A and B are shown apart, each in its own frame.
Chain A
Amino acid sequence: MLPAAAIAWKYVLAGTPEESPNYNKSDHWWSMLIDIPKCIGCGNCVRACAAENDVPEGHFRTWVERYHVDDWHMESPQVISPDGGKEGFPAASEDSGKYFFVPKLCNHCADSPCTQVCPVGATFISPDGVVLVDQTYCLGCAYCVQACPYGCRYIHPEKRVADKCTLCYHRITQGLTTACCENCPTGARQLVDLKDPNDPIHAFLKTHHVQVLKPQMATGAKVFYNELDGSVR
């Protein structure tokens, strides 16, 4: 009885969890830049994401794909992603065509299909542009899992609710970068705040060939890929 009361009192003293006091949601519009020529496929981002967010085994909030586009099949590349690229990739011998790595994650779409299909209002776009899931409200119906054209959502095997990349919302609201960006050794992933006029993204977008995935879906995807190959789906 007493220990339980003591534990409860500890939570009372701690108060309701609050965001960082200096953080103003309307001052930010988060997204990410992925610089394909810099990615070496080490899998650091996948491991970091799993450690930071307790991602269940066999599911991924971010993963890395390796594309091999050979000279004769430009439209049908060979794509591999062993265990999401968590432990890196098998060595590629010198071969015809080209190889490159494509890290993927939730695109935090400005007009996201997943939030539109939720029947209970459990998934939403936060005022700072991050697509989040309210796991106490989610029914686990998986409409959103089907609606996401990028395959970025899954049903958590234990909680039985939708789970996905939060863009490390608990980190970025404290002034830190995401776990994947923090641990990318080559700077291939950069957290971007489109509302920050001093963010280097603005100059970068003007001077580089930047694409988003599946622009024809009109999702308003906000993960920008530098030098994305046309074969990437």
Chain B
Amino acid sequence: MSLSKDAGHLFRFAFLFVIAFAVFLVVRHFVVPKTFGEYGHYRGAAIGEIAARPLHYAGHDTCETCHADVAEAKKAGKHAGVNCEACHGPLANHAADPSIQPAHLDTAVLCIRCHAASAAKPKDFPQVDAQQHSGGLACETCHKPHSPAIQTEGAK
């Protein structure tokens, strides 16, 4: 009898502890996102949100579903490994809605970006000093960008 009387303050403390723990659990339930801890110490839903960001580059497979002729022209040439959007720029909006016309390209800027001569570039990469090479003549006068080797009459 005297034991429980002496231990009364302990029960009161235990009761308070249980209340505090219950409050903690309730607050935690509302504050911690549902998917936190799904894969690790982070919000699992964040992965899906990042994966759902919009595309800007459609990818060459998408381009080639419509532009098979260009893909064919490129295949044999030196630019076979250069994907469409590397020169044409991001065109996911054009792929989604073909009525959106891509911007016209300027070979004077584009070709030089890769092919301007520099001692820093790998020695086996084709490089030119544009002024010396063509004297200001536009690149596409001789080289077709999709298949840049100079070709004979009638070739595309």
Chain A residues within 8 Å of B, Cβ to Cβ: 16-20, 25, 37-44, 48, 51-53, 66, 68, 88-89, 91-95, 99-101, 121-127, 132, 134, 136-137, 166, 169-171, 173-174, 176-177, 179, 182-187
Chain A interface: which of B65-73, B100-108, B117-125, B132-140? B117-125
How many A-B pairs have beta carbons closer than 8 Å: the answer is: 136
**B114 at the binding interface (Cβ < 8 Å):** yes
Name B51's contact: one of A19, A39, A99 (CB within 8 Å). A19
**B50 at the binding interface (Cβ < 8 Å):** yes
Main secondary structure of the interface of B (DSSP, over half): loop
A37/B90 in contact, CB under 8 A: no
B59/A182 in contact, CB under 8 A: yes
A182/B41 in contact, CB under 8 A: no
Least CB distance, A140 to chain B, in whole angstroms: 16
Enumerate chain B residues within 8 angstroms of A123, measured Cβ to Cβ.
42
Q: Chain B: how many interface residues by the 8 Å CB criterion?
A: 38
> Given A66-B120, A95-B119, are A40 and B49 neighbors across the interface (CB < 8 Å)?
no
Q: Give 24 A-B contacts (CB < 8 Å), ordered by A residue.
A: A16-B48, A20-B51, A25-B47, A40-B121, A51-B57, A66-B120, A88-B116, A89-B118, A91-B116, A91-B118, A93-B119, A124-B40, A124-B46, A125-B40, A136-B43, A136-B49, A137-B46, A170-B55, A174-B55, A176-B59, A177-B59, A182-B85, A184-B86, A185-B82
> Given A121-B42, A121-B43, A173-B51, are A52 and B119 neighbors across the interface (CB < 8 Å)?
no
Bound-state CA distance A108–B46 (Å) is 17
Bound-state CA distance A37–B121 (Å) is 9
**Interface residue ranges of B124-151 to A (CB < 8 Å):** 125
Main secondary structure of the interface of A (DSSP, over half): loop
Enumerate chain B residues within 8 angstroms of A89, measured Cβ to Cβ.
118, 120
Q: Mark B32-70, 1 if CB is under 8 A from A, else 0.
A: 000010011111001111111111110110000000000
B120/A101 in contact, CB under 8 A: yes
Chain B residues within 8 Å of A, Cβ to Cβ: 36, 39-43, 46-57, 59-60, 79, 81-83, 85-86, 89-90, 113-114, 116-122, 125
Least CB distance, A5 to chain B, in whole angstroms: 23
> Given A41-B121, A92-B119, A185-B114, are A17 and B49 neighbors across the interface (CB < 8 Å)?
yes
Least CB distance, A127 to chain B, in whole angstroms: 5
B114/A42 in contact, CB under 8 A: yes
B41/A124 in contact, CB under 8 A: yes
Bound-state CA distance A39–B118 (Å) is 13
Bound-state CA distance A186–B82 (Å) is 7
Name B52's contact: one of A18, A132, A187 (CB within 8 Å). A18
Enumerate chain A residues within 8 angstroms of B56, measured Cβ to Cβ.
51-52, 179
Bound-state CA distance A39–B125 (Å) is 10
B47/A19 in contact, CB under 8 A: yes
Query: Which residue of chain B has the shortest Cβ distance to A179 in the bound complex?
Result: B57
